[in-house]
Chains A and B, each alone.
Chain A
């Protein structure tokens, strides 16, 4: 079997915040009726997380679950566990109008770490990043590309984009994080 390799193989950049690509991260897109009890139960048993509310991201012992739209969730899990999790979800949701797909290798994940993490993300996105508290997920764009991000804590942002534009996102974040580009600090 071939070796899975992430977009930038864990590249990082030290600017006035640290930007790092997260390597292999498991990700599952789950579409279905988010009000369904069966779906909530399947998500709970897969990740340990409760069903997130509108615009939220919930955490469990086996992963995080982000609310992407009224009928879509993003499960962020261990890369090696994603395939089995998709199989388990598909089995548990056999009677539901739902679909689980392993999209791990179609995405790139970054963390932006430092006191100015919010500022760096805010530079490249139209979202009100300062109003985004940990536990909230925002799906928007960064410069020319779609992205979703949330604050893991006050000084760590996690950002997800499509793999095909992973290098663009990294270059963009590096540029926003260049020393000398501080706005408030």
Chain B
């Protein structure tokens, strides 16, 4: 069972209290963008075995979206952080690097 701390409520919410909302930090390409950019925004998703950044929603709690850094293979959670960020904060990056010095980094 995956347990994530909601950064808004401070509660440890298990997976069934949450709703997964896919890859984090997508850049939106809307009207006026190239076909390739628009296709990438709509359909192209990372699917790593290992460190991954995701969006989640505390669906049956506060209802807020937040971000989580976790490992898709071990289910290890490196941390959760607020939705109002364009990329993972330093503390999260540091937490991942502490566990996986070989990790090639975000992006």
Hey, which bits of chain A sit against chain B, CB under 8 A? Answer: 54-55, 68-70, 72, 126-128, 138-141, 146-147
In the bound complex, do residue B17 and residue A69 qualify as a contact, i.e. CB atoms below 8 Å apart? no
Count chain B CB atoms within 10 A of each CB in A55, A72, A128 and give the residue with the most. A55
In the bound complex, do residue A126 and residue B9 qualify as a contact, i.e. CB atoms below 8 Å apart? no
Secondary structure at chain A's binding surface: helix, strand, loop or mixed? Answer: strand
Bound complex: CA A54 to CA B17 (Å): 18
Number of B positions contacting A (CB below 8 A): 14
Bound complex: CA A54 to CA B13 (Å): 15
Bound complex: CA A126 to CA B10 (Å): 15
Hey, which bits of chain B sit against chain A, CB under 8 A? Answer: 8-14, 16-17, 60-64
22 interchain pairs, CB-CB under 8 A: A54-B9, A54-B10, A55-B9, A55-B10, A55-B11, A68-B62, A69-B9, A69-B64, A70-B64, A126-B13, A126-B16, A126-B17, A127-B11, A127-B17, A128-B12, A139-B9, A139-B62, A140-B13, A140-B61, A141-B60, A146-B60, A147-B60
In the bound complex, do residue A141 and residue B16 qualify as a contact, i.e. CB atoms below 8 Å apart? yes
Bound complex: CA A127 to CA B11 (Å): 9
Interface pairs A-B: 3 shortest CB-CB: A69-B62, A141-B60, A146-B60
In the bound complex, do residue A140 and residue B17 qualify as a contact, i.e. CB atoms below 8 Å apart? yes
Nearest residue (CB) in B for A138 is: B11
Bound complex: CA A55 to CA B62 (Å): 10
In the bound complex, do residue A139 and residue B12 qualify as a contact, i.e. CB atoms below 8 Å apart? no
